Structure 1
Amino acid sequence: MTEEFDKLVRDEVPRIIEQNGETPITHSAEGDKYSERLDEKLAEEVTEYLENGEVEELADVLEVLHAIREERGVSLESLRDKRRQKAERRGRFDEGIVLERVER
Structure 2
Amino acid sequence: MKTIDDIDVREIRHKLGLNQSEFWSSIGVTQSGGSRYESGRSIPRPVQALLRLVHIERVDIDKLRKDDFEVIEYLRTHKSDLYKTLKKEAKAKKKEK
Q: Does the pair score TM above 0.5?
A: no
Larger Rg: 1
Could you tell me the TM-score, scaled by structure 2's length?
Answer: 0.25
**Structure (1/2) with the larger strand percentage:** 2
Q: Higher relative contact order by CA 8 Å / sep ≥ 6: 1 or 2?
A: 2
Q: TM-score, normalised by structure 1?
A: 0.24
